[in-house]
Chains A and B, each alone.
Chain A
Amino acid sequence: MSLLEVRNLSTRFKLIDHTVRAVDGISFSVEHNETLAIVGESGCGKSVTAMSLMNLIQAPGEIDSSSEIIFEGKNVLEMNDSELKELRGGKIAMIFQEPSASFNPLFRIGSQIAEALKIHQGAAKDEALVQAEKLLDSVKISEPDRRVKNYPFQLSGGMLQRAMTALAISCSPKLLLADEPTTALDVTIQAQIIKLLQDEASEKNMSIIFVTHDLELIDGFADRIMLLYAGRVFEQSTAPEFFDNPLHPYGEDLMNAIPRMGLFKDEHKLYTIKGQVPDEKSKPIGCAYAPRCRKCFDKCVNEEPPLFSVNSRNVRCWLFENKNLSTDGEDK
């Protein structure tokens, strides 16, 4: 059984004059000890997906009642408040782009981690503080004995991000949701955090869902990739397959648009994806990417493609319509 199984997740935001379908019928699963990267541009629904997994969507947003999020055999969307409270920060932990989202500025770092340990593991106060210090040490924060007594503002951005990671993994979660945790950080610090996540995941048999806009960042880090666009799954592949040969033209275009290390303007022109990400009001009838796609043909404009399975990969593109029969895919 998969650790997490998401079926037909849809999340809408009812705004004053229209409804935004932020996430529109997404299905995927996360296996034990696996890192899944959810990749996409702004507005593709990646962060809303992550928030939905923890049932953290607040009004005016709502998760469609036909959605299912099965974690260890139980539907997260049917849990009551106390079960949810135990789940969040317990078996599923979360880290954000802004560490300030996790820390209360008025309490010391150590006591906040200890608090989490007390809630989720029933540790005694003194014991929890000792453990907090060990955790800070394990995320390679120097002088952990001094840092536990620090307030959040006394730590640098990178250190705070580590401390947040320490807080998140303090209760040995089965699944870590990381929503753009390195976007606000410098490259050297970003590398340190990625390394830390990798090490912690393999050491503690933890699965990771890593939400990001940065394709380059997840190569060599993620096991599988789910590419989102306008609230829809565009491609699901293993990372090596994807980076070797992205199936969806959107993925391919993205790879060609990135100024990769070692390209220079005098010998290489970057591919330009025309147009822009559609918002709710300008979503096309057919494939959401059709207006920008260089491989677009009539069918793409008129009809939205379903998710086709190609050699155990999924892709939402009419180009793969006839290759669909080659294997029996996951998407039934």
Chain B
Amino acid sequence: MMTETVLEVKNLTKSYSLKAGGFSFSKERVHALSDVSFSIGKGKTLGLVGESGCGKTTTGRSLLRIIEPDRGKVFFNGSDTNFLSLPEKEMITERLKMQYIFQDPWQSLNPKQMVGRIITEAPLQHGLIKRENALEVSKKYLDIVGLPSEAARKYPHEFSGGQRQRINIARAIVMKPDFIVCDEPVSSLDVSIQSQILNLLLDIQQEFGTSYLFIAHNLSVVFYLSDEVAVMYAGKIVEKAPSRKLYEDPRHPYTKLLMAVAPKIDGKPVSLQPGQDGEVPSLTKLPKGCSFAERCPIASEECRRSIPPLKTVEFEHKVACFKAL
């Protein structure tokens, strides 16, 4: 692609052991992420969609090292050093240009801090702004996210969910990040507020050229907001394509299932094909072959025997399925 790459992720893998803590030992491991790779261009949005437990949040968190992945490589802003192997001090400095917007606006703001303080804490800590300018800076960013400047002197509990999400966004963009992980930023908001926040995210992207990793379970939101969409299932990317292409021509049976069951305003009741009533497999004992095989209407012996690789089937369109060509 012609655009500059902001983030390049290679073979991100993460598993947890199931020990309860203390000194118990257990061999069982949860395979949360297996070899997830993607890249995001400058000013672009990659949508990551899938059901709970598919690894989309783990992806967002482990590439920022909120949780340390087992292996993989992350190259940020064209650098040729792996972000994942940076020592802690350098990692923290490097990470200031990457930000995270959380799903739950009620849990992501310190209830005992004033909003102005929340927004300017990071730049103050790193000497990017002076203490006497802090209030001014916070007001400027409150204005960008569409909140009145009095908000700086209030506490989070005085705001609604949508307003809190704006404060979250202000806190993220005050660091002038090149890249933001948006982890389900609208899923806990009311319908009438969702579009406000989605439009705000789009405006910010336009103005600052920020790249997003947009994580959501709602397929229509992801299609709408993303340039490219990756569908995850049981810790793997099973299909990846530009948003419109994926919408018009989904190849993986799981993508098709997601599209079929997504609630739509079309006057029709939900339709479920026979066999589509399974559930996501347990991540502790993944099947030998394709993780979706159990639920797949077109699975064959091959699918149950070996894991299909993510292969390019068409320009910019990758699918991990033996049957989808």
Contact = CB atoms under 8 A, between A and B. Distances in A.
Interface residues of B, number: 46
A156 B281 CA distance: 11
Interface stretch (B75-83, B220-228, B301-309, B313-321): B220-228
Contacts of B108: none
Most buried by A among B52, B162, B220, B265: B265
B37 interface: no
Interface in A181-232: 186-192, 194-195, 198, 213-217, 219-221
B268 A140 contact: no
Contacts of B243: 264
Contacts of A263: 220, 223-224
Interface residues of A, number: 48
Interface of A: 41-42, 140, 156, 158-159, 186-192, 194-195, 198, 213-217, 219-221, 240, 243, 253-255, 257-265, 268-274, 276-277, 292
A86 to B, nearest CB: 33
Contacts of B270: 191, 194-195, 198, 220-221
Contact of A156 (B219, B261, B268, B279): B279
Given A41-B192, A195-B272, A269 B199 contact: yes
A243 B191 contact: no
Contacts of B160: 276-277
Contacts of B191: 41, 213-215, 254, 257-258
Nearest to B269: A220
Contacts of B277: 140, 192
Contact of B262 (A189, A261, A264): A261
A259 B263 CA distance: 12
Contacts of B257: 188
A253 B263 contact: no
Nearest to B258: A187
A270 B199 contact: yes
A255 to B, nearest CB: 7
B202 interface: yes
Contacts of B155: none
B195 A273 contact: yes
Question: What is the predominant secondary structure among interface residues of chain B facing chain A?
Answer: helix
14 contacts: A41-B191, A187-B217, A188-B261, A189-B51, A191-B272, A191-B276, A240-B267, A259-B194, A259-B195, A261-B219, A261-B220, A261-B259, A263-B224, A277-B192
Question: What is the predominant secondary structure among interface residues of chain A facing chain B?
Answer: loop
Contacts of A253: 192
B199 to A, nearest CB: 5
Interface in B271-288: 272, 276-277, 279-280
Nearest to A250: B192
Given A259-B198, A261-B220, A41 B261 contact: no
A265 B225 contact: yes
B247 interface: yes
B163 interface: yes
A259 B279 contact: no
B131 interface: no
A110 B3 CA distance: 59
B240 to A, nearest CB: 17
A84 to B, nearest CB: 33
7 nearest A-B pairs in the assembled complex, by CB-CB distance:
A191-B261, A216-B263, A186-B51, A259-B224, A257-B195, A41-B190, A220-B269
A188 B276 CA distance: 8
Interface string B28-65: 00000000000000000000000110000000000000
B325 interface: no
Interface string B113-140: 0000000000000000000000000000
B221 to A, nearest CB: 5
B105 to A, nearest CB: 12
Contact of B196 (A186, A254, A255, A273): A273
A273 B192 contact: yes
Contacts of B224: 259, 263-265, 268, 270
Nearest to B163: A276
Contacts of A258: 191, 194-195, 220, 265
B207 interface: no
Contacts of B157: none
A234 to B, nearest CB: 12
A269 B224 CA distance: 10
Contacts of A271: 195
Given A191-B270, A195-B272, A219-B267, 14 more contacts: A41-B191, A158-B279, A188-B276, A194-B270, A216-B262, A220-B266, A243-B265, A254-B192, A258-B194, A262-B223, A263-B224, A264-B223, A264-B247, A270-B198
A258 B190 CA distance: 11
A221 B224 CA distance: 25
Contacts of B261: 187-188, 190-191
Contacts of A217: 263
B190 A261 contact: no
Most buried by A among B247, B269, B277: B277
B153 interface: no
B19 interface: no
Interface in B196-218: 196, 198-199, 202, 217-218
Interface string B163-205: 1000000000000000000000000001111111011001000
Given A192-B277, A257-B194, A187 B162 contact: no
A273 B195 CA distance: 8
B265 A255 contact: yes
Most buried by B among A195, A258, A261, A269: A261
B223 A220 contact: no
B264 interface: yes
Contact of B219 (A42, A187, A221, A273): A187
A216 B264 contact: yes
B244 interface: yes
